[in-house]
Structure 1
């Protein structure tokens, strides 16, 4: 049986980033499909955007500056939501609870689907009370509409909210539910309608056996229909159904769903309402038996037909991801791309990724570019591959327009393993919960290597500066088959800067080490920054054709003649001394 080959189409030249002259006045922004849908009525608006619940949580929390974050498709409803919230707050003004007599339900009750506890907000209201204006009335709550989010619309935009000094963020639409770092959040999922009888018929046509083990799950915007659907399926005779509730935990067995750890998901199939994000499909592909999707984006062909389910298949996507990370196994320089400033613990994750790359003998640079696109990251051609630090959904970035591969922290851990150690069982995760484990495993391996190196030095008595590099196994690019000699540029630097174990800090071995560094620089002619080899500076010196203003005239002698330039105003310039007007 022939082994299947994996072909990945790769760009050989950077993409064209400029707009052709013929298309300069064309708008490249795609048309929004949400503008073609009918606008909700006032009653539907109050129900979809949960005006009463939002106003109650704002009032109970004592918030005075509230940021309203809408996705692009819902921005047209933002003025009406703004007015409805102000009207609801005026209709039922806040009251101050006496000290020590805070209602018990405020301490215990959680908001919708246990997403944000009320204890912290109650404590804030207890301390601040209700601020009074000059006329003795309650101070007005100010709302701010956030548009054009800093990163993905699924994440809470704490950066934009802090610009208006908001006390709380109300997030509308679907969300990745990643834990936030600074501000409290009120989630409003804006529930969409669902045809329950049609969904039941689709479920029955997919699972004919009543004893089938199935996990019922829906997208955030359809999750309110799960209890009704569950009741209907129980009435139809299905008895082995799981409906896990929503929680804030992207690293759980099913991301953001609470499930007993004793349950073996390999025995269950998944029935998902609406199209799930690609990151969720890849995560669950190795955890459940089968995945079936009930689409809601397109209506059924006719009123009498039933919407058919789609069986999800992630084999091609997983093979493509594995091809990308094996391609980057010989990459010398990685770029850490920060795709969030709101997810909790993202700073510690960046530090762990840097440590992981450094211990592998490779170089890393950190970038913050806002919303990621191919044009932005193509400016850094010295970067061989990118690692995205973001929420568990936005970390998965695919597209043929990217000049260099973009991988997740989990894929980076596999990429930095040797060819003899890399074993992938098909599992995948989008969050960065396993980065700390990878750093710990790398630390233990580095400790073993250092002990072996010290033992060899004690046995030989003399340290050879090229021993580590010469004893390392050769590395080959698995894509082209070529030998790669510079895949770990920082390994040589670490071996040169570390003092030998046989000498103390006060002995005269420092001059010998300095001479070795100088010899090494002369031998390899390496570019260093603060005594450390810099692959980025080396690339700038040797491979970049343009190195800044003035570099074009570095090899030519500057003219000593003084010429008179243009003068005048924009409606007409005078060029030179002859007075020619243009």
Structure 2
């Protein structure tokens, strides 16, 4: 489990050992067959038409540039031609490069390429830890005087029309053996089984290819989507809620962190993880009742607190000031005393340094810090959603009238932190007016991008 309950990608998205809620895993067995029918996923809409920039031949066919690119792994798509073209277009002199830890070993090669094949005079490699797309550090890039920021390994969670400096997102898609994934699914699931396929952003193209190959044997195969994320993309804090009787989710990733988000949001759908590196498929479990019980206990304990601390995460864009304003306004309406705190990383040790100054904390950074590590904090440490429940602003999820999972009867715990349709606690930078706390199922998702920054297709990363 990674520090703070947040995933640290390694070599293209590798994750740390299984988090605390891990129950067990076993080889995938034959799943029950079912009649083909629609699997309905919330948050779907038709794709937008796009116009893409065309990289000129003098860049694509540059022999020296292509030789430099050949040093990088063949199966990792760093989109160097696009990066060079964008930097040339912007006439940037100072370029900041931001990588997750697992890709930092390639940073020197890419920095050398940028210096050699663009007009850039200074190239910075930003060394602070990067857990996910929420950590895009445009503020630090701006402080360094960067003219452009290139962020690697994550999707455009923070749109390019929001960042303080021009930003280019490079997903770093990884080629994998799609044929083996398809064969593994056919071996373990009978034809007609209602299956879903999802994964991390690095494998989005492979997921689309697998769906096309599986459609004949599994007519209802679907790729879930929670906008503004790409089809099939799941974050550790954001997952679609699927209706329509899906019988299995096949999740393509080398770790569990993102998958657990889907399992929390959809407790009745059996989950299987396909690891593209060791080419194994495993059945995954999650302690649903234990998690919900622990979070309910933290909420009820926080209600007794007289003085609260509202902690805004300052690691990249993790902390959203708008969410902080929502929480502090609720505290004022409830007559609670509070103090605002800024922290780069929220850990039990850092909060323990405050002693007994606060009876409860609200951390506006990563919801999984509370969900995964909540019992390790000395005082109740809530997510923004949980804080609004504790303060009576949002109905309790365990109430008699609260929505329940249709198959298990478990109360629905929302994993919609960056969902465009999330509640008032949502940190999405792409959202309409605040929506109800619960959403209705919509039509199955179409393929394409949900990014508001120009409406481009996620078949190619946002420009």
Q: Tell me the TM-score normalized by structure 1.
A: 0.51
Deviation at 1:383, TM superposition (A): 1.4
- 1:539-554 equivalent positions in 2, closer than 5 A: none
Partner of 1:518: none
Shift of 1:254: 6.6
Shift of 1:45: 6.2
Query: Which residue of 387, 398, 402 corresponds with 2:362?
Result: 387
How many residues get paired? 347
**Structure 2 residue corresponding to 1:435, chosen from 424, 435, 460:** 424
Q: Which residue of 2 aligns with 1:7?
A: none
Provide the secondary structure at the position in 2 that maps to 1:285: helix
Q: Distance in 2 between matches of 1:295 and 1:312?
A: 14
Equivalent position to 1:326, from 293, 296, 300: 300
- How does 1:358-507 map onto structure 2 within 5 Å? 358-381=332-355, 382-390=357-365, 396=371, 398=373, 400-417=375-392, 423=399, 425-429=411-415, 431=417, 433-435=422-424
CA distance in 2, matches of 1:314, 1:275: 20
Q: Give SS of 1:383's match.
A: coil
SS of residue in 1 equivalent to 2:174: coil
2:137 is the alignment partner of 1:164: no
Whether 1:270 and 2:249 are equivalent positions in the alignment is yes
1:58 aligns to what?
Answer: 87
Number of the residue aligned with 1:232 = 213
Higher relative contact order (CA 8 A, sep 6+): 2
C-alpha spacing 1:242/1:159, structure 2 compared with 1 (3 Å)? same
Asked if the contact 2:95/2:149 (under 8 Å) is kept, the reply is: yes
Q: Distance in 2 between matches of 1:283 and 1:362?
A: 34
151 and 77 in structure 1: CA distance in 2 versus 1, 3 angstrom threshold: closer
Task: Write the distance in 2 (CA, Å) between the matches of 1:42 and 1:167.
Answer: 27
The equivalent position to 2:164 in structure 1, one of 171, 175, 182, is 182
Distance 1:339 1:171 in 2: 19
The aligned counterpart of 1:147 is 127
The corresponding residue for 2:103 is 74
Identify unmatched segments of 5+ residues in structure 1: 1-31, 90-138, 301-306, 442-582
Q: Is the 8 A contact 1:67 1:166 kept in 2?
A: yes
Offset of residue 317 of structure 1:
2.5
Match of 2:228 in 1: 248
Unpaired segments of 5 or more residues in structure 2?
1-8, 15-68, 403-410, 427-432, 436-463
**Is the counterpart of residue 198 in structure 1 residue 180 in structure 2?**
yes
Change (3 A) 1:259 1:71: closer
Q: 1:215 pairs with 196, 203, 215, which one? A: 196
Residue 199 of structure 1: how far off its partner (Å): 1.4
1:530-553 deviations in Å (ceiling 9; x for gaps): xxxxxxxxxxxxxxxxxxxxxxxx
Q: Is the 8 A contact 2:225 2:240 kept in 1?
A: no
Aligned to 2:275: 296
Structure 2 residue matching 1:182: 3-state secondary structure? coil
Q: Is the 8 A contact 1:329 1:415 kept in 2?
A: yes
Q: Using a 3 Å threshold, how does the CA distance of structure 1 residues 392 and 174 change in structure 2: closer, same or farther? A: farther
The Cα shift of 1:153 comes to: 7.1
Q: Is the 8 A contact 2:196 2:222 kept in 1?
A: yes
Conserved 8 A contact 1:181-1:344: no
The CA distance in 2 between the partners of 1:419 and 1:427, in whole Å, is: 12
Indicate the residue corresponding to 2:281 in structure 1. Answer: 308
Say which SS state the counterpart of residue 173 (structure 2) adopts.
coil
Scaled by the length of structure 2, what TM-score is found? 0.63
Aligned CA distance change for structure 1 residues 226 and 265 (closer, same or farther; 3 Å):
same
| Number of the residue aligned with 1:338 | 312
Distance in 2, matches of 1:407 and 1:351, equals: 16
**What are the Cα deviations for residues 97-151 of structure 1, in whole angstroms up to 9, with x where unaligned?**
xxxxxxxxxxxxxxxxxxxxxxxxxxxxxxxxxxxxxxxxxx5453211102487
Kindly tell me: are residues 259 and 417 of structure 1, through their superposed partners in 2, closer, same or farther at Cα, counting changes over 3 Å?
closer
The structure-2 alpha-carbon separation of the partners of 1:81 and 1:411, relative to structure 1 and needing over 3 Å to count, comes to same
